[in-house]
Amino acid sequence: MTITTVRPAPTVAHTKRALLTRYHIVAPSLKVADAAAASVFGAARLRGPIARDVIAQHTKLSIATVNRQVTALLEAGVLRERADLAVSGAVGRPRVPVEVNHEPYLTLGIHIGARATSIVATDLFGRTLDVVETPTPRGSQAAAVSALAESARRYLSRWHRRRPLWVGVAAGGVVDSTAGTLDHPRLGWSDAPVGPVLAEALGLPVSVASHVDAMAGAELLLGVRRQPSPTSTSLYVYARETVGYALSIGGRVHSPTSGPGTIAALPAQSELLGGSGQLEATVSDEAVLTAARRARIIPAQGPGSTMQALLRAARQDHPQAQELLAERARVLGEAVALLRDMLNPDDLVVGGQAFTQYPEGMALVEEAFAQRSVLPPRQIRVTAFGNRVQEAGAGVVSLGGLYADPIGAIRRAGRRDATA
């Protein structure tokens, strides 16, 4: 007699855990980490070359803990000693500073935009080594994701002298960071397995994050500002082809499990720009270009029908072009004021080419913000990364795991090397 065992169907949670184990999909770490190894590595990254006793002063760790972590980080290969910079003390052995051992490594960041995708190589300091931009693949979802992975694989094959450690993906839409999947309505993607496909193709750990969360993470981890307090808050507002926001609390980007909120439908009125009475449809690049074409500032189509052409016209004192961009700045300033009044953050940052590509308009953004906000005056800070904010966001997603757990990240990348 044969007994057949019927196994229950796997749950969604079980399936996600299986994906995590098989492909090494790792939820992005967009926070200022406080574990001992992370703190020591962070001190070396931000202040190196640095002596162990100085690390202890800055991290508030005991010198014994610092010595243990430095030894482990040296063995992992992410720190190196600088004996040439050693300073002899009055008593005891020379103080040998340590610094980040950045030359042997890189991480790979990918920003998937509605129109263009950027692939960026980043060193362990978060500095861009190289970046290429290609049109975001079209066609069926499976074909597009496979094409994206193949582009990343070809790009990575060029780096013969650096060992890749991690892949970070930043994209619009709704991200499931546990499974590494992406819903992107503008691309027609639903539950697209971006993380698993990239992990399979590249043999590396992969983290996937919302692009606005990633940009806020770049300000937090790479902006090299003062360390946030446990209660400080920062609001990041983004605008280009899409609009979005992210909130950082106590040194961590707040990433709801159900995905980021949206400000696309915030009320926004502009007869000049048109739109549907909603923010994204009023201030997006496409909305501004549509208004410019309607006013015959730029041609209806062709190479002269671009945002660059409109910006060029404004800088050549074309009054209608300047008026359009001034109107966009006004609407954006009022929207930022509405968000600020709702959330009242300690720090307020704006990014995206709607703000940075036409810096002449920032005074108008600030003026509209000041007129609309009902709270006391607050300074608006423009992103530290200018027009490179998308690549900085993708880069920090690829670095977050290393910054949070540098020894574990090296081991994880090593396990993938062994099985690749």
Q: Are residues 202 and 275 in the same domain?
A: no
Q: Are residues 356 and 233 in the same domain?
A: yes
Q: Are residues 378 and 229 in the same domain?
A: yes
Give φ, ψ of 266 to 5 degrees. -60, 145
List the CATH number of the domain containing 123.
Answer: 3.30.420.40
| Contact in structure between 32 and 221 (CB atoms under 8 Å) | yes
Q: Are residues 197 and 344 in the same domain?
A: no
14 found inside a domain: no
Give the total number of structural domains in the chain.
3
Question: Which SS3 state, helix, strand or coil, does residue 353 take?
Answer: helix
Q: Are residues 196 and 280 in the same domain?
A: no
Domain boundary residue among 100, 120, 149? 100
Q: What is the pLDDT of residue 230?
A: 74
List the CATH number of the domain containing 85.
Answer: 1.10.10.10
Q: What is the pLDDT of residue 13?
A: 52
24 found inside a domain: no
Cα 133 to Cα 136, 319, 388, 394, distances in angstroms: 9, 32, 12, 13
Closest CA to 400 of 198, 207, 195, 118: 207
Q: What is the pLDDT of residue 85?
A: 86
- From the CA atom positions of the chain, what is the Rg in Å? 24
Domain boundary residue among 77, 100, 123? 100
Q: Are residues 180 and 145 in the same domain?
A: yes
Q: Are residues 138 and 53 in the same domain?
A: no
Domain boundary residue among 100, 118, 152? 100
The residue segments making up the domain with residue 61 are 36-100
| Contact in structure between 204 and 108 (CB atoms under 8 Å) | yes
Query: Rounded to whole angstroms, how far apart are CA atoms 188 and 273?
Result: 27
CA atoms within 13 A on the CB side of 192: 29
Q: Are residues 339 and 295 in the same domain?
A: yes
Query: Rounded to whole angstroms, how far apart are CA atoms 56 and 325?
Result: 50
**Which residue do the tokens 């201030």 mark?**
283
Q: Are residues 203 and 243 in the same domain?
A: no
Closest CA to 114 of 284, 259, 261, 245: 284
15 found inside a domain: no
Q: What is the pLDDT of residue 418?
A: 45
51 found inside a domain: yes
Q: Are residues 354 and 400 in the same domain?
A: no
pTM (predicted TM-score): 0.88
Q: Are residues 62 and 176 in the same domain?
A: no
Closest CA to 352 of 339, 336, 368, 334: 336
Q: What is the pLDDT along the chain (420 residues), one digit of tens a residue?
A: 444 444 455 554 554 555 455 558 999 999 998 899 999 999 999 998 999 999 999 999 999 999 999 999 999 999 999 988 887 654 445 588 999 999 999 999 999 998 899 999 999 999 999 999 999 999 999 999 999 999 999 999 999 999 999 999 999 888 999 999 999 988 999 999 999 999 999 999 999 999 999 999 999 999 866 677 778 999 999 999 999 999 999 999 998 877 778 899 999 999 999 878 999 999 999 999 999 999 999 999 999 999 999 999 999 999 999 999 999 999 999 999 999 999 999 999 999 999 999 999 999 999 999 999 999 999 999 999 999 999 999 999 999 999 999 999 999 887 555 444
175 found inside a domain: yes
Give strand pairing partners of 331: none
Helix (H) or strand (E) holding 236: strand 233-239
Closest CA to 356 of 331, 389, 333: 389
22 found inside a domain: no
Q: Are residues 373 and 232 in the same domain?
A: yes
Q: What is the pLDDT of residue 419?
A: 46
261 found inside a domain: yes
298 found inside a domain: yes
